[in-house]
Structure 1
């Protein structure tokens, strides 16, 4: 059974799930209603908010949609130190922001999030950064929920299939946003999309979704020629009218700086691909703490900078094909990808 049948969609295009404030119900619903699979990144949402989110998505579209969670990684439960706060304080003060509160839990409890999501039973649950618990995979299957895992290497794809998930995203290093490596360090897992996809196709028997550097119909055709059953597109949908990206972020995706992206830990403590701006450059060699500590330190800054239109202090997540994007609606973009 191939991808459209597994996911219940008309066209083999998945909108990449965005974390933070970048996902919106309007975007996910627009993609799903047009025949693709809309997605919503829920890793920062409290369990009760996840319950409400699934209800909102169901009300917004009658078609299948996906909700995404991040699987916790080990050794990331540290709190920021005073030195960490001092390192980012000048940027906070530029926008008139106080020091962040870093005394309490920095993230919602993953197990509680997962329990809430399984109880809400969205059509599809996707995971990144690792493998979900076996009991959760079994519960999803019992509830008729399709599960999608994310792999950055062929070995990770084999692990996703062995864990019993239904579909695997082969996420190449071209992709914008966070790298999801979980078997080896990120630096050892940077495989380009069009090297990764045929290896994953050969390694697993479940449907394969190609992701990373795909921004137009040519990229879709190339991924399909390499054996992918469909594609996942992030940056292109981030640039659409319905996404939660700030006006400054969207302008950057369409601007001259879109041709230069780097891998950075500056904004969250996890490696992510973003456009080069002042904060990324100035913190390039800084010993920032791991996720979620660094993310918590800069959360208010990212939001305030977006509202102020200050692209030098925004996390400009961007894939390597961002220069191929343009302002349009999600439906128009989906039609371009599949036309």
Structure 2
């Protein structure tokens, strides 16, 4: 067992990934720790105050945990491209009485400073970063507070950049992962590299400990990633249907619905590449969606929320990794223990 895990008493090297937008509840994070692993709260898309509340809830359970933050790494979009996409999507929005074409692009930073201040003032065991690499000063401040700092990367180049700012470990994400890619260059197509191969490449490039994630669906997947040199794996999609997950009922059902035959990496929903179940929205808008994050996230957000409330899976961002068919309706502890059953 590596020091990365043993320092927190982690003896199950299968961790629960942060899934922003609702799935990563405090109950899910606590369940991961109860079975000997560790879970991450998702700091993205919520206020610093709301994140503080979730941290308080998990901390009261007396378990190790982590928090993930989105590092500001905006993909600018021109007003013309934004308006054009809003006009294209508007007919779908009209089904729910929504007007998408009136506002200007929203280019916020997801309350970055407030969340960093929260985590330095009230430290948690682990903090991971995605979408961008923070300034060295941010990582240094967290480490002074005895927080282990992890960086999500998708290539050897990103791994080297993360190592240069002194992070403690890397979360290596393959393109098979569900939801948003951690890529630092979201305007470029993702390079499909099998997760064990990617882990090996990163291990050859840097000396940092590695956690592997992306498309892990079976005990064999876990074993392959660890054999390649990862010290642990991180799973998300496989936990979406668990009892503790905060994913919506339509999302949970779609993951095992035969009507959804495949996944697709698309920027149609948010302007940033993310893997989702192929549906009407991706078929209609993937080819014309401009790069533009977070502007497109905010643009389509009201429509996606309305569609979720109505159970309209044609228009929902059904984030899913390539192993989504293995997701089961069960306690999270059972799912994580099963994945570790061949270790």
Q: Could you say whether these structures have the same fold, taking a TM-score greater than 0.5 normalized by the shorter chain as the test? A: yes
Q: CA offsets per residue over residues 137-194 of structure 1, 9 Å max, x none?
A: 1111110111111110112122222221111111011111111111685425443312
- Aligned residue number for residue 263 of structure 2: 261
- Aligned residue number for residue 95 of structure 1: 96
Q: CA offsets per residue over residues 105-129 of structure 1, 9 Å max, x none?
A: 6453312221122222111111111
Name whichever of 134-143 and 200-209 sits farther off. 200-209
Cα 1:192/1:236, change in 2 over 3 Å? same
- Aligned residue number for residue 293 of structure 1: 295
Aligned residues: 338
Rounded to whole Å, the distance in 1 between the matches of 2:44 and 2:101 is 20
Cα 1:75/1:233, change in 2 over 3 Å? closer
Is 1:84–1:289's contact at 8 Å kept on the other side of the alignment? no
Is 1:259–1:322's contact at 8 Å kept on the other side of the alignment? no
Cα 1:184/1:191, change in 2 over 3 Å? farther
Cα 1:214/1:51, change in 2 over 3 Å? same
| 1:58-73 pair list within 5 angstroms | 58-59=59-60, 61-73=61-73
Rounded to whole Å, the distance in 2 between the matches of 1:184 and 1:91 is 26
Cα 1:85/1:185, change in 2 over 3 Å? closer
Rounded to whole Å, the distance in 1 between the matches of 2:78 and 2:152 is 25
Is 2:263–2:277's contact at 8 Å kept on the other side of the alignment? yes
Cα 1:234/1:69, change in 2 over 3 Å? same
> Per the alignment, in what secondary structure is the counterpart of residue 328 of structure 1?
coil
TM-superposed CA distance for 1:19, in Å, is 1.3
Cα 1:281/1:50, change in 2 over 3 Å? same
Rounded to whole Å, the distance in 1 between the matches of 2:197 and 2:183 is 16
| Mapped pair 1:24 → 2:25 | yes
- Aligned residue number for residue 303 of structure 1: 305
Stretches of structure 2 that go unaligned for 5 or more consecutive residues are none
> Per the alignment, in what secondary structure is the counterpart of residue 274 of structure 1?
strand
Rounded to whole Å, the distance in 1 between the matches of 2:237 and 2:185 is 25
- Aligned residue number for residue 76 of structure 1: 76
Rounded to whole Å, the distance in 2 between the matches of 1:258 and 1:140 is 42
| 1:1-339 pair list within 5 angstroms | 1-59=2-60, 61-76=61-76, 81-99=82-100, 102=103, 106-182=108-184, 185-187=187-189, 189-257=191-259, 259-288=261-290, 290-339=292-341
Cα 1:301/1:22, change in 2 over 3 Å? farther
Rounded to whole Å, the distance in 2 between the matches of 1:325 and 1:258 is 14
TM-superposed CA distance for 1:95, in Å, is 2.5
Cα 1:259/1:3, change in 2 over 3 Å? farther
Stretches of structure 1 that go unaligned for 5 or more consecutive residues are none
Rounded to whole Å, the distance in 2 between the matches of 1:119 and 1:319 is 35
TM-superposed CA distance for 1:333, in Å, is 0.5
Name whichever of 303-312 and 132-141 sits farther off. 303-312
TM-superposed CA distance for 1:36, in Å, is 1.1
Instruction: Give TM-score, length-normalised by structure 1.
Output: 0.92
Rounded to whole Å, the distance in 1 between the matches of 2:35 and 2:69 is 24
TM-superposed CA distance for 1:257, in Å, is 4.7
Rounded to whole Å, the distance in 2 between the matches of 1:166 and 1:226 is 19
Is 2:186–2:273's contact at 8 Å kept on the other side of the alignment? no
**Alignment RMSD:** 2.2
